[in-house]
Amino acid sequence: MQTSNQIPGPPGHFLFGNLAEFKRNPLACMIAWQRTYGDLMRFKLGAKEFYLISHPDLAELALIQQQEDFVKIYDANKPNGLALILGQGLVTSSGDLWRKQRRLIQPVFHRSNVYTMLPAMAAACHKLMAKWDVLPPDATVNIADEMLRLTVEVITQTMLGTSVLEQIEQIAPALEMSLRFAAKTAMNPLRPPLFIPTPDNRRFMRARRLLDELIYGIIAQRRANSAGNNDLLQMLLDTEDPDTGEKMGDRQIRDEVLTIFSAGHETTATALTWTLAKNPETLSRLKDELDKTLGGKTPDVNDLDRLTYTKAVLEESLRIRPPVGITLRKVAKDTPLQGRSLKAGDIAVFCIYNMHRHADFWEQSERFDPSRFLTADKRNKAYMPFGIGHRHCAGTHFALVEGQLLLAMLLQKYDFQLSGDDLPEMEMVVTVKPVGGLPMRICRLGSNSAGN
Ligand code: HEM
């Protein structure tokens, strides 16, 4: 059996390993390393060993068949990465707490329940379009920012029965800052601990306080007036532990609410942003389908089923620009993986981005081609935008329904054109997004494609 030392990888600095190169551009490093060293390679950040896994068979072995040996990286007693913001919510918790909370929260995301949220999603989109309608013709907007505001409105209205758009100018930078900080700490063991008041640490603490105030404020407001609500927040407030009869504590409710808020808007905003930046032929075929199927109206549940090309564009967009580019696990004990031996305590990085472009699984993998998802059997084991195994995305249906609905509404009413010649570079800050946003010209289409 090959030991971890024999797994190929780049040479590195004796103290810092590959940190300098990795810090400059993690995604570019992972793409280049897979090309040079293959589907299972190792690298070092400081003293910490990482394995980069870019083959779906290895991902399936680790995340499904050997899931007990590959555990979430977060430790409740020593929070790092996303757990610094999200505490013990669904994304960052493990063991019995995670199992209990997942069982509790999952029904909110069942297909039939998500369908009841369609009117609230559509209302959020109408609100955005009303704002755009008073812009000068051919105005240029930062679509990444606009999609973020749209998906923030969707997630808060559907899950928390409220809007935070009035505070968005404070919330968006606080979230962005915290996510950047979390991404850096997760992959950089040499960062100073939070109790050392470096400027970065202080900025992070300030941002986290702002998010705390927001979420605790929403919880308090609901406690004061809970009549007629049956959303996620109400369910978290009402649930009693079947064994103890106790209600969930405010801290746990805060963690779950902030988790669903964060996991549920950045990801879909990024997916919509990249999709709207697609080539004119794709967008024109999309519009044809929308015109024929909807004739200007807002789609309902049955329409969504018939919008097969719209769905295929979204799916292909999630392949070529997966919003979640990697997922991380800690190796729980010395573990064999397909003839290689991985060491306890090391970190496995499952690179969704590389798998989605793996030449063994995708023909012309760099080409954007929605027809990959129009065939009767479109399954491909190298496709995993929502992760795989027991920790796969809880919001998969929500995201697909939301994505399809919002795309259908926006593209019926506006034309979107890149304001520069090329797409901006990508960067990975938890999600894989355009560096500096995505400026686009939006032009309102004729009045018979009203998207009412
Ligand atoms: C295009 C949109 C989305 C993408 C690409 C995406 C992707 C993912 C991925 C890859 C994971 C697994 C991470 C891992 O294995 O460590 C995940 C987990 C999760 N996602 Fe999503 N997601 C999206 C939208 C959403 C939405 C809309 C929600 C909620 C409203 C959501 C809630 C969650 C939660 C709660 C988890 C943690 C599940 C668990 O560990 O039990 N996601 N997501």
Condensed to tens digits (0 to 9), the pLDDT of residues 222-252 reads: 999 888 888 999 999 999 888 888 899 999 9
Q: What is the pLDDT of residue 304?
A: 96
Q: Give the closest residue to 129 by CA, choosing from 316, 405, 398.
A: 405
Convert the pLDDT of each residue in 78-133 to its tens digit.
Answer: 888 899 999 999 999 999 999 999 999 999 999 999 999 999 999 999 999 999 99
Helix, strand, coil % in the chain, rounded to nearest 5: 50, 15, 35
Q: What domains can you pick out in the chain, each with its CATH number?
A: 4-444 (1.10.630.10)
275 lines ligand 1 (CB under 6 A): no
Q: What is the pLDDT of residue 217?
A: 96
Q: 180: pLDDT confidence band, cut at 50, 70 and 90? A: confident
56 lines ligand 1 (CB under 6 A): no
386 lines ligand 1 (CB under 6 A): yes
Could you tell me which residues come within 8 angstroms of residue 446 by beta carbon, excluding any fewer than 6 positions away? none
* Residue minimizing CA distance to atom 16 of ligand 1: 327
CB 80 within 8 A of CB 73: yes
Q: How far apart are CA 242 and CA 251, in angstroms?
A: 19
Q: How far is the CA of 22 from the centre of ligand 1 (A)?
A: 25
**Which residue is listed with tokens 């389908």?**
289
* High-pLDDT (> 70) share of the chain, %: 98
Q: How far apart are CA 21 and CA 17, in angstroms?
A: 9
- Mean pLDDT over residues 343-350, rounded? 96
Convert the pLDDT of each residue in 403-420 to its tens digit.
Answer: 999 999 999 999 999 988
Q: How far apart are CA 28 and CA 220, in angstroms?
A: 44
| Pure H helices in 81-161 | 83-86, 95-105, 111-115, 118-133, 143-155
CB 398 within 8 A of CB 408: no
267 lines ligand 1 (CB under 6 A): yes
- Degrees, nearest 5: CA angle 179-185-191: 135
Q: 385: pLDDT confidence band, cut at 50, 70 and 90? A: very high
Query: Ligand 1, from 96, 236, 267, 329: best to mutate by most atoms within 8 Å of Cβ?
Result: 267
Q: Indicate the pTM of the whole model.
A: 0.95
Q: What is the pLDDT of residue 244?
A: 86
- Mean pLDDT over residues 185-200, rounded? 84
391 lines ligand 1 (CB under 6 A): yes
Convert the pLDDT of each residue in 47-91 to its tens digit.
Answer: 899 999 999 999 999 999 999 999 999 888 888 889 999 999 999
* Residue minimizing CA distance to atom 27 of ligand 1: 264
Q: Which letter does DSSP use for residue 425 in this model?
A: P
Ligand 1 atom having least distance to the Cα of 89: 35
Mean pLDDT in the chain? 93
Q: What is the pLDDT of residue 79?
A: 86
- Mean pLDDT over residues 361-381, rounded? 93
* High-pLDDT (> 90) share of the chain, %: 81
- Mean pLDDT over residues 373-386, rounded? 93
CB 7 within 8 A of CB 44: no
DSSP, collapsed to helix, strand or coil, labels residue 201 as helix
394 lines ligand 1 (CB under 6 A): yes
